[in-house]
Structure formats: C-alpha cells, structure tokens
C-alpha cells in the first residue's frame, strides 16, 4: 500500500522523519510531500534518503517547466490516484484551513482535493491557535467530510507555553493509519501457506491444458497475511504478478509440482489457503514431439491429478485449511459438497459468471461456507479486502477450535 505523507511548516516537522520509519515497518510505501514552510525546518533530502523516492515540493518547478512535460505538470492527479491514504503530519492551522476551505495553492492542498483516498491529519501548533474557534470550526468541517483527526497531545510546547498542541506520538499516528487502512498484527508468529494461480498440464512441447486464473486472489491473500504479521509461503503457478516482497515464493507449473511443494511445506503452516485454480485432469500421456494436425479429429485421454485439498483435509491436524470453489451454477450445493468431501474448515465460493467476480478482475464476490454454520455472503469488494475477511474467519476458526 502507498501513502503520501504531507509535511507542513512547524517545529514538529522533524518528527515526520521518524514517522516514515514507523510506517515502513508496517510495510507501507511512503512518498513525502512538503510545503515550502516545511522546508524551513527539515530538508527534502532527509525524506528522499529515508523513502528512496522523489520528494514533491512544488506544483510547478524548474524540472517540469517545459510544456512537453505534461506528466509532471499534472503529477498531483497521478499521485492522488495511486495512493491508498494521505497522511498530513504535522498539520498546521494554515493547512487545516486550506483543506476546509478547498483552497489549492500548493501541491499538498491540491493533492488533498484531488484524491479519493482516506485522509488522516495530525495537527500540531500553539495551544491558543489550537483552541481558536476558527481552527476548531475547520476541524469540525473536515471531520464531517470524513477526514480522520489524530488529536494533539498536551505538554510543553516549542513556544514555551503548556497545553494542547504537541504533535501526537508516532505510535498514536501509526495506530490511526492502521485502523483506517484495516491493518492488523493478529497473525504475528503464524505461518500461512497460500497457493495461487493456475497450473499447466503439458500435451506436447508447445501445447498444454490450463485455466483462466490470474492469481490475483492468491497474491492478495499473501499481501494481506504479510500485513497482518504472518510469515507467508506462496506456492504459485505461472502468473504475471509481482512477487510479494518478503514472501517465501515457491514457483511451480504443474499440479504434481504444486502437490509436492505443498506436501513439503504444509508442516510449517498454521493456516493453509488453497486459492490456486488447480487442474483436475492432465493428459494420460505427454508427447515428446509436437503433434501434427491431420484431417481427422483428436481424442485426448485424461487422468485425474492429485487432490491436494482433500489430502490436506485428511491430514490437517491443528491446521486451519481453507479451500476455494469457482462455480458457474448451484454454488451453495457445490460448495457445501466440496466442504464435506475435502474435510476443509471453510470453502470460499464464487460464481465466476457474475460481473466483478470472475477471472482476472481486481474485485470478487464470495460466500464463505463452514461446517454446521450459516454461510457468510460478502458484497463485491476488492480482493485485498476479501482476503482480510477470509483471514478474519480463519482466525475465528482457530480460536473456536482451541
């Protein structure tokens, strides 16, 4: 997930450097946006070194003065579209007023208006400025618009006064960011094994049987598990997706290879989520040379592949085992049947004919089926959110089984 960290002009601006480190520990990608006043207290170079990214300081700068550089000239729109959250810390009285009034005189205020991502502000200022009716009215306006406010601490202020106005602690700000983004650490110390993507079964050196799985659901599960503190083993069929940083990535191609990888690594896992679209059948014989076309038809003899989920279900022990079912009809009946046959703790089923729930989409519409319990149907949501709901339920299963 990507965060834009807005740093405005105040003595507390130096604390934003430590905030960057704490956000990175949450596996968040941080890009700093600084106002001119902020640069009087701390240099952009500091944030560039900490984040490894360009620090944005102006809407119009020397590097994008050329008319041909359209991308730079509308950078605030590009940043607004790719971030998952805008955090402003410290937020001065001036920046809060600009946000509340919809003024857009610098990059940060323009970014605030242009983004649809959640916004968190952590004010820091003199106690009298904090308590002034204008500041409080601006905060009330921002809260009414959905902006999350991390109230300042009380104590000794840089101006020599004592009272509310100190920038909230780094821990308090990070906790708010976690809450807004739905980040948790409830999988600390747990190992999660996830399978993802399709498998491929060779017919000859140039042809194979496969399916339409993109692997997006499995990779979203890996990202969600990591963000919640788990050690992740990701056994993946062929995909074009970026390997999650920090995951123990095990690439496979065939169902047999996935079977062997899961058998070798399952003992390490507390939770196993079988999200891969595994081929149910493979050619009984593989041709060593390319098969040539002739005028007649072609009959392929297929044989069943190993049933990895059923094997895990029989030998799960204390592990929680979650399977997936991609269906086109009779979803509930098929999912309940699979739940019983595979001895799984949960089956996550979807109707792949529904818009937004099929293959190669960024969203999904799923129903979770558990033994002796009502199904849990989720509305259409992005796959990362679906992944978190799956882990919520998996943790509930673990808790109830103890």
Mention every residue, 6+ apart, whose C-beta is less than 8 A from residue 299: none
Mention every residue, 6+ apart, whose C-beta is less than 8 A from residue 59: 75, 76, 106, 107, 110
Region of 360 on the Ramachandran plot (φ > 0 left; ψ -120 to 50 alpha; else beta): left
DSSP 395: H
Which residue blocks in 132-254 are alpha helix, DSSP H?
A: 133-144, 170-181, 216-227
Q: What is the dihedral of CA 30, 33, 37, 43, to 10 degrees?
A: 50
Task: State yes or no: is 159 an active-site residue.
Answer: yes
Separation between Cα atoms, residue 350 and residue 242, nearest integer Å:
24
- 370 is written with which tokens? 């558990």
- The residue count of the chain comes to 402
Which residue blocks in 83-164 are alpha helix, DSSP H?
A: 93-101, 107-114, 127-131, 133-144
Which entry of 49, 66, 158, 159 is annotated as an active-site residue?
159
Separation between Cα atoms, residue 225 and residue 192, nearest integer Å:
7
- Residue of 11, 15, 73, 17 whose CA lies nearest to 50: 17
Active site residues: 159
């Amino acid at each position: 997930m990507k965060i834009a960290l807005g740093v405005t002009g105040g003595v507390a601006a130096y604390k934003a450097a430590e905030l960057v480190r704490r956000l990175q520990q949450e596996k968040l990608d941080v890009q700093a946006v600084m106002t001119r006043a902020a640069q009087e207290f701390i240099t952009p170079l500091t944030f560039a070194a900490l984040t490894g990214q360009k620090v944005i300081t102006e809407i119009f700068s020397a590097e994008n003065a050329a008319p041909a550089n359209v991308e730079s000239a509308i950078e605030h729109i590009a940043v607004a579209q790719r971030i998952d959250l805008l955090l402003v810390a410290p937020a001065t009285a001036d920046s809060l007023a600009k946000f509340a009034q919809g003024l857009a005189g610098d990059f940060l205020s323009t970014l605030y208006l242009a983004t649809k991502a959640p916004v968190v502000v952590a004010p820091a200022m003199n106690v009298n400025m904090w308590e002034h009716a204008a500041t409080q009215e601006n905060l009330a306006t921002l809260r009414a618009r959905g902006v999350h406010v991390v109230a300042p601490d009380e104590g000794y202020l840089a101006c020599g006064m004592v009272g509310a106005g100190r920038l909230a602690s780094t821990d308090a700000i990070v906790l708010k960011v976690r809450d807004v983004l739905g980040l948790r650490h409830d999988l600390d110390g747990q190992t999660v094994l996830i399978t993802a993507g399709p498998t491929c079964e060779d017919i000859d050196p140039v042809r194979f049987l496969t399916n339409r799985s993109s692997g997006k659901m499995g990779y979203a599960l890996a990202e969600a598990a990591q963000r919640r503190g788990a050690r992740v083993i990701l056994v993946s069929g062929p995909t074009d997706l970026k390997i999650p940083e920090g995951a123990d990535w095990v690439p496979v191609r065939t169902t047999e290879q996935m079977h062997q990888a899961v058998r070798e690594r399952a003992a390490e896992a507390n939770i196993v989520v079988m999200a891969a679209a595994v081929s149910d059948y493979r050619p009984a014989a593989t041709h060593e040379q390319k098969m040539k076309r002739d005028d007649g038809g072609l009959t392929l003899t297929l044989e069943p592949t190993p049933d990895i989920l059923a094997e895990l279900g029989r030998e799960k022990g204390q592990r929680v085992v979650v399977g997936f079912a991609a269906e086109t009809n009779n979803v509930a009946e098929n999912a309940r049947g699979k739940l019983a046959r595979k001895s799984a703790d949960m089956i996550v089923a979807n109707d792949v004919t529904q818009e937004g729930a099929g293959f190669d989409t960024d969203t999904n519409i799923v129903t979770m089926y558990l033994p002796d319990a009502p199904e849990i149907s989720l509305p259409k949501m992005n796959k990362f959110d679906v992944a978190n709901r799956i882990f919520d339920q998996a943790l509930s299963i673990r808790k109830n089984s103890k």
